[in-house]
Amino acid sequence: MNSLDIRVDGLSHRYGRTHALQAIDLHIQPGEFVSLVGVSGCGKSTLMRLIAGLQTPTQGSVCLDGQPPAAARAAKQIGWMAQQAALLPWRTVLENVRLAQKINPKNGGTAVPHPQDLLTMVGLSDFAHAYPLTLSGGMQQRAALARTLATGAAVWLMDEPFAALDELTRELLAGELLQFWRQFRPTVLWITHNLHEAIRLSDRVVVLTSRPGTIAGEIAVPLPRPRDDTSAAFQDLLRQARALLRQEVVHG
């Protein structure tokens, strides 16, 4: 699977009189896993939609491998996963995954596993012919993950995909997601409110200020994976992230 470079330069965005984002400069290397954290309403999801090309910035630019997001969207290079699985309820799990692959045929020449194999990878092989509404929330998100893998996308934009799940299911799915990222190596932008999760998964954690959102700071996470969250190094990074975020809450 190919991965893309993401570059955001001087980006600002307004909704009428509401100033959502201001002077965002962000560069994500191909194949990098970056988490975006910040208080509610700071513009995290807006920034993701701008990168996806779902909105046009008021000012500044977004480029994926030097091209506007519209080019990456047209080439089916952007995969999206949100808090809600958004599976088609009238199609089985297998049919949902097949449809994603049909819409994104031979993406960039990438060999993508067969839909049934993808369901096996995410632990849903026994539920291929089940309908989404008969599945638990965690199983629906597994199906949504299989659908994302099926696209062969070079960029994964993931807006709190596991936020609604219980803690154990969330940790299990986050660990499985990391395995798939290491296997396929897309560029990932991950939105989360969970600092522990951000440090567990990411190469870098980017903290946004309160509205209008701008980058308060970045924390590099050089720890080898899988990460020991009880280690002194992990806990030190967690303290740094909390201090930076707390500073923004206090001054916001």
The pLDDT score that the predictor gives to residue 112 is: 75
The pLDDT score that the predictor gives to residue 104 is: 74
Distance CA 222, CA 54 (A): 32
Which residues lie closer than 8 Å to 145 by C-beta, 6 or more apart?
81, 122, 161, 173, 176, 177, 180
Per the domain annotation, does 53 fall within a domain? no
Beta bridge partners of 11: 24
Q: Please, are residues 61 and 9 in contact by the beta-carbon 8 Å criterion? A: yes
Say how many domains are in the chain.
1
Give the CATH number for residue 183: 3.40.50.300
Segment 150-174, tens digit of pLDDT: 888 999 999 998 888 888 888 888 9
Residue range 218-234: average pLDDT? 95
Residue range 111-115: average pLDDT? 80
Q: Is the pLDDT of residue 250 over 90?
A: no
Per the domain annotation, does 70 fall within a domain? no
Taking the alpha carbons of 33, 51, 162, 22 in that order, is the dihedral positive or negative? positive
Coil/strand/helix, residue 240:
helix
Per the domain annotation, does 197 fall within a domain? yes
Per the domain annotation, does 10 fall within a domain? no
Per the domain annotation, does 15 fall within a domain? no
Q: Which of 94-103, 107-116, 123-132 has maximum average pLDDT? A: 123-132
Q: Which residue has the higher pLDDT, 106 or 233?
A: 233
Amino acid (1-letter code) at residue 58: T
Segments forming the whole domain that contains residue 102: 28-42+76-207+215-251
Residue range 206-218: average pLDDT? 93
The pLDDT score that the predictor gives to residue 105 is: 66
Distance CA 125, CA 134 (A): 15
Segment 19-74, tens digit of pLDDT: 999 999 999 999 999 999 998 889 999 999 999 999 999 999 999 999 999 999 98
Q: Please, are residues 191 and 45 in contact by the beta-carbon 8 Å criterion? A: yes
CA 175, 176, 180 angle in degrees (round to 5)?
A: 120
Segment 68-98, tens digit of pLDDT: 999 999 888 999 998 888 999 999 999 999 9
Per the domain annotation, does 98 fall within a domain? yes
Beta strand residue intervals within the chain, DSSP E = 6-15, 18-28, 33-37, 59-64, 78-82, 155-159, 187-191, 204-208, 215-220
Per the domain annotation, does 126 fall within a domain? yes
Per the domain annotation, does 20 fall within a domain? no
